[in-house]
Amino acid sequence: MSRIPLRRLEVLVTVVEKGSFRACAEALDLSPAAVSNQIQQLEQELRACLFVRHRGRVCGLTDYGKKAFTEAKAFLGHADKFTAEMAPAPARELL
């Protein structure tokens, strides 16, 4: 499996937290189509459905989607913590 871009995980977490693809798109300044594309790519990379769909509409998360959301949220939290703790580097440590 290839590495999944952080942006894709951010889109997943934002869709779940905001409750819709449209609200996610507004929050991340993306088009709804771009959000949908990111989720489709993530599902392809994971080879699993993350959302329950009914008549083309997202109705909730699958069990796998719930786990993916939990892990993605934790991972993004670690990435944010890393960024906060490591930047900016003191001038004496720059190469």
The predicted-structure confidence for 2-55, as pLDDT tens digits, reads as follows 799 999 999 999 999 999 999 999 999 999 999 999 999 999 999 999 999 887
| Longest CA pairwise span in the chain (Å) | 59
Residues 49-62: pLDDT tens digits?
Answer: 999 988 777 889 99
Model's pTM, two decimal places? 0.86
Residue 89 pLDDT greater than 70, yes or no: no
Integer CA distances (angstroms), 95 to 52, 55, 61, 85, 90, in order: 49, 56, 45, 18, 11
The one-character DSSP state at 89 is P
Separation between Cα atoms, residue 12 and residue 24, nearest integer Å: 9
